[in-house]
Structure 1
Amino acid sequence: MPLIEIKGAAKGFGLPGSRTEVLKDINLAMEEGEFVVIVGYSGSGKSTLINLISGLVKPDAGVAKISGEAITGPGPDRGLVFQNYSLLPWLTVEENIALAVDEVFKDWTAAQRKEHVWKYIEMVKLKPAAHKLPKELSGGMRQRVAVARTLSMNPKVLLLDEPLSALDALTRATIQDEISEIWRQNLTTVLWITNDPDEALLLADRVIPLLPTAPATLGEPIMVDLDRPRDRKTLNHDPKFKRLRTELINTLLDAKGRMKPKTSVKLSLPDILPEDLTTVNSLQFLNRTGPKRRSDNKREEVEVAA
């Protein structure tokens, strides 16, 4: 039985008459320990899809399940990492992580919870910054705190909604590698949302394109049978990586191309005749009444004396 299962799910927003359908016919199954990345255009419904699994929204049709049970709301078995870190600014790194640990493991002793918090602080290499506030951290460090806080809850599924989109390229690459290594150590089931094909292929066991079909639906999955650990420098020269990248990009581009609106337009030439300015004097030009139109030309019959 899949750990995560979505069957025939659809979701839209708005009132009748002004409603926008975002997702349709979503079918997804994820096995325990799998790393799945969903790739799609911005605004295509990726966040809505991950929110169906997190329980923040409910499907209008179909069903979303975890461990065979219908998802009816958020729960500690699904940890969600947002794009904007979502750290409490008045709490330190340690306190932000402890907030989640204290809520989930209420029956543990204070010493057990503290030890658990520090395990994840060290995992994301933030021990020197443990007593700093979010405002004292870089963007990359804040995202590490968000990941550590979520992992500290020991969720069955780690959900990441474009977690690195706000970071610069170098920091992004570093955290991609760190999260990949954390996954290899823990084998937590991961669903990652991104609009970056290279990021998807670097991280995933399986990549699924979210096709911008308005409403969006999932395309055929692409199995990423590249050896781990993956080195981005080596991948750039790997023919298999290049083939997978081309397949993924072409799938998204083809779906986008099919959605371009097509219409036929009847064009009419302007009803104006050009003026011969070389045959008029300045006074005639100033006194002219406007452009001469083809529709003003009239046929006249005149008698010509023989």
Structure 2
Amino acid sequence: MSQPILSLKNVSKGYGSKGARTEVLRDISLEVREGEFVAIVGYSGSGKTTFINMLAGLLKPDSGEVLLDGKPITGPGPDRGLVFQNYSLLPWLTVTENIALAVDSVFPTWSQEQKSAHIAKYIAMVKLTKAAGKLPRELSGGMRQRVSVARALAMDSRVLLLDEPLSALDALTRANLQDDISEIWQSSRKTVVWITNDPDEAILLADRVIPLLPTAPATLGQAIDIPLARPRDRSAINHDPQFKALRNQLINLLLAAKEKSRTTVSKKLVLPDILPEDISTPNSIQYLTRRGPRRRSEEKREELEVAS
């Protein structure tokens, strides 16, 4: 079997000082083959962004190794294109100019004609040719994310890393962009690591889905191979028994890990030593100001004998 393009070996990562350190990820091991589409699925706050930032070279692990072609990743590089959640476009540059920044950096020796043709190709691929001269503020959220995807593709990176790229979009835009990205991937066959909190999205897009278990610190669970034929029709797949079984398997893995991670803490609740006052009349406010609040510890039980 060929060497994986990406691999993590017993990787752990935490934040904070020694006295108050929070371990986020522990003993993460993963191998990704060239041309494979892998989705990592987990709850919000479980460490998904930390995970992909280590693949991008933006973070270094505390222990273990993150490798590209068997060599340690020491920082960001053009061999890994990263698509963020928040678009990360320069607001004063047009669609073409935002993509040109990446192309100029990766292909400095190309002629301007080569660069222009290359940029136009990827703008067309994400269906934004008519918006090529527009600024980000003139685009919808879905269109901005298309620009981010086009920018990553235009770098001709060997690996695409996508950190919940569709989480900020409405359901209809998200579905359309899922289909577009799936179509683009099938034509380019780039290696993709996709981070998401949506099990359906992961199964629809990926070859292999891996749950990031919320075990505090998080670790990867059992990988699930997705044997569904491509292209995948979202309207038909929802009625597919195999799709339903895969979704149940994935959700059950996440729920079981969530249940195990719960801890029960018993605390004794102590009521404040203050009783409520009626401050509906001016006299009562004056009395309260003069006397101070009534306290439970001051209350004494008295018995009165009333002659009938």
Normalising by structure 1, what TM-score?
0.87
Going from structure 1 to structure 2, the CA distance change for 1:290 and 1:9 (only over 3 Å counts) comes to same
Structure 2: distance between partners of 1:50 and 1:199: 18
- Specify which of 172, 177, 189 is matched with residue 175 of structure 1: 177
Q: Is 2:62 the counterpart of 1:65?
A: no
The 1-side partners of 2:171 and 2:160 are apart by 23
**Residue deviations 1:63-116 (CA, integer Å, cap 9, x gap):** 000011100000000000000000000000000001100110001111111110
* Mapped pair 1:39 → 2:41: yes
Corresponding residue number in structure 2 for 1:272: none
Q: Greater Rg, structure 1 or structure 2?
A: 1
Of all paired residues, the percent bearing the same amino acid is 66
Q: 1:110 to 1:19 in 2, by over 3 A?
A: same
Which consecutive unaligned segments of at least 5 residues does structure 1 have?
Answer: 268-288, 293-306
* CA distance 1:61–1:129, shift in 2 (3 Å): same
Shift of 1:27: 0.2
Pairing 1:68-107 to 2, within 5 Å after superposition: 68-107=70-109
Shift of the 107–264 alpha-carbon distance from structure 1 to 2, 3 Å rule, reads: same
Give unpaired runs (5+ residues) of structure 2: 270-298, 303-308
Q: Which secondary structure state, in structure 2, belongs to the residue aligned with residue 256 of structure 1?
A: helix
State the Cα deviation string for residues 109-151 of structure 1 (Å, max 9, x = none): 1111111000001000100000000000000000000000010
Kindly tell me: are residues 177 and 291 of structure 1, through their superposed partners in 2, closer, same or farther at Cα, counting changes over 3 Å? farther
State the match for 1:302 in structure 2. none
Partner of 1:229: 231
* 1-structure distance, mates of 2:165, 2:144: 11
Counterpart position of 2:162: 160
Residue 54 of structure 1 is aligned with which of 50, 53, 56? 56
After TM superposition, which residue ranges in structure 1, 4 or more long, deviate above 3 angstroms?
263-267, 289-292
Offset at 1:18?
1.1
2:23 corresponds to which residue? Answer: 21
Indicate yes or no: 2:203 matched with 1:201.
Answer: yes
Q: 1:291 to 1:161 in 2, by over 3 A?
A: farther
- Assess, with a 3 A threshold, how the Cα gap between structure 1 residues 109 and 254 changes in structure 2: closer, same or farther: same
For 2:222, give the aligned amino acid. E
Q: Distance in 2 between matches of 1:291 and 1:71?
A: 74
Q: Which residue of 2 aligns with 1:140?
A: 142
Which amino acid in the other structure matches residue 73 of structure 1? Answer: G
Aligned pairs, number: 273
